[in-house]
Chains A and B, each alone.
Chain A
Amino acid sequence: MAFRKIDIDALEEDAFGEDEIEFQEIGELRPLSDVEAEVNSRAQEVRSLLQRGNTSGALTTALQNPPYGAPYHAAKARNTQTVMEAVISVKVVDMAQVAKGLSPEEQDVLMKYLYAGMAAPEQYNSGHLLSFHEKLTEVAGQGCIVRVITDRRTV
């Protein structure tokens, strides 16, 4: 099956490559410092909401304007941490209600973060994420999962 290893795009002068797809989907990248500042201030905001016991508010805030784009590796990890803090504080019995309260866009973003969280089982409690995943799928349907797979704007 050697032919499967041939990179046929290398033979094509004008290939539709990853870089171009990412540019098309994400657009012009913002300066790194801006993104990091935004992510950090959001982390503060989410934490203060959590301290006041406003879990759904914290989750909604955490899901706004996530950093997209390859260069923001650190900011993405930081933002995942922020979202996870909000997700972990949602009790299992409240999950369905919280998921219903999100807009369709927020539901899609939350699904992205649930998968991102499950990709790091040593850091985040997969059991908790899995039950949130189940409740979110009941509310937002399989379409929500499909959109996580197709979306090039990864978290």
Chain B
Amino acid sequence: MSDAPIVNEFNQGPISCHAFNGDRTELAICFNTNVVSIFRKSGASWTQTSTLAEHDKPVTSVDWAPRSNRIVTCSQDRNAYVWTLDGATHQWKPTLVLLRINRAATFVRWSPEEDKFAVASGSRCISVCYFEEDNDWWVGKHIKKPIRSTVLSLDWHPNNVLLAAGCADMKARVFSAFIKGIDKKPAPSPWGEKLPFNTVCGEFSNGSGGWIHSVAFSPSGESLAFTGHDSTITVVSPGTGDVQSIRAPFLPYLSVIWLNESQIVAAGHDCAPHLFELKGQQWAFSASLDAAVKKADVGFTARDTFRRMDSRAQSATSTDTEVHTQHQNTINSIRPFSGTPGHVEQFSTSAIDGKLIIWNAHSISRGLGNLHL
């Protein structure tokens, strides 16, 4: 396995969200439109096999349940669909979900057991959806209090009951999404013991304001990491009462995942995934995972110099406008690609530049000395 990141260019516009199937041979991706495209891996490239076209406003989020092979999509049109593959025709069939929201849906994720999913929305609530056998229908139950603004991101706790939400009211919260008849009573955890639906198990702020863009439970579920628009990453561990906010010197992070219990990767407006590590008891920024090699100036002549000065009002020495990272624009989503939840080996990032890049996490520990900003 080569250490170099695998860059997939689709050239179909900005990527708003992406999700892989269980064995990573298929990819659901949305190019900021109302359709989701399904690609199948063929050799080194991806071939489009079908489209999921049922939404009539841009799709905001997609998630693929790895074991039950179902896709869920949500959109600004306030709807969510569960897509199942028809074995005979090999067509994806949509089922509408009753979300009962009056603003755009922003984010969707399957629970670890794949028997529920949660949809975040602009109507200040989270719709926790489950299949009701009696009515043969997906229904949603709302988590409302005390959310004061749009919910921007979600993450499920490994116990299938707790749900973390990052919100535009500058708070990250942990809720119970316990559904009677579906969930078994969860074992007590640092987040709480008695967990009826909508219990608020924690409410956290990052200190200097800003929307919470992304939330992620650690693999064990003992800690929660969240990133805000104030360029901070906060890690809270209710078991020890530890709350650490790292003020990063970079632009805000839009997405965050845990590689393992002591490594976090975050990416966003700086166009590169950044690694944060737990050293002793202290979380700290460690390295950018994008080597950010400066491209050599090709054909650098006096004529080019004058042309540059003419077109961009820049002298030859100023190359500040170039982005030297692999991604050429804001990264909006990071997802684990290979490995297990506590030991992620590869992860994928999608960005507004229309690229999907698969990064090797294992090269981090080995080549950390060579990496620099």
Contacts and interface: CB of A to CB of B under 8 A. Distances in A.
B169 A146 contact: no
Contacts of B208: 108, 147, 150-151, 153
Interface string B230-253: 111000000000000001111110
Contact of B251 (A20, A146, A151, A152): A146
A40 B70 CA distance: 64
A108 B209 CA distance: 12
B229 interface: yes
Contact of A20 (B148, B228, B231): B148
A75 B28 CA distance: 56
A25 B207 CA distance: 8
A98 B331 CA distance: 34
Contacts of B229: 146, 150
Contact of A141 (B148, B232, B250): B250
Nearest to B251: A142
Nearest to B231: A143
A104 B247 contact: yes
A33 interface: no
B344 interface: no
For A16, A104, A144, A146, which residue has the most chain B Cβ atoms within 10 angstroms?
A146
A144 B148 CA distance: 27
A152 B229 CA distance: 12
A150 B209 contact: yes
Interface size grouping (class) on chain B: 10 to 19
A105 B247 CA distance: 9
B149 A16 contact: yes
For A140, A150, A151, which residue has the most chain B Cβ atoms within 10 angstroms?
A150
Contact of B170 (A24, A108, A142, A147): A24
B209 A152 contact: yes
For A25, A105, A108, A143, which residue has the most chain B Cβ atoms within 10 angstroms?
A143
A20 B149 CA distance: 12
Interface of A: 16, 20-21, 24-25, 104-105, 108, 140-144, 146-147, 150-153
A16 to B, nearest CB: 5
Contacts of A146: 210, 229-231, 251-252
A112 B252 CA distance: 18
B251 A150 contact: no
B230 A142 contact: no
A108 B231 CA distance: 12
A71 to B, nearest CB: 19
Nearest to A144: B249
A25 B232 CA distance: 16
Contact of B169 (A16, A147, A153): A16
Contacts of B170: 21, 24-25
B209 A143 contact: no
15 contacts: A20-B148, A21-B169, A108-B208, A141-B248, A142-B231, A143-B232, A143-B249, A143-B252, A146-B210, A146-B229, A146-B230, A147-B209, A147-B230, A147-B232, A151-B208
For B149, B228, B248, which residue has the most chain A Cβ atoms within 10 angstroms?
B248
Contacts of B232: 143, 147
Interface string B59-76: 000000000000000000
Given A25-B170, A143-B231, A146-B230, A151 B209 contact: yes
Interface in B140-160: 148-149
A147 B210 CA distance: 8
A143 B247 contact: yes
Contact of A16 (B148, B210, B228, B251): B148
Given A25-B209, A108-B208, A150 B250 contact: no
A150 B210 contact: yes
A105 to B, nearest CB: 8
B65 to A, nearest CB: 33
Contacts of A105: 247
A150 to B, nearest CB: 4
> Which 7 A-B residue pairings sit nearest by Cβ, starting from the closest?
A141-B249, A143-B231, A150-B210, A150-B230, A104-B247, A16-B148, A151-B208
Interface in B169-195: 169-170
Given A16-B148, A150-B208, A151-B208, A143 B228 contact: no
Nearest to B169: A16
B9 to A, nearest CB: 27
A153 B209 contact: yes
Contacts of A152: 209
Contacts of B169: 16, 21, 24
Nearest to B148: A16
Nearest to A138: B249
A101 B230 CA distance: 22
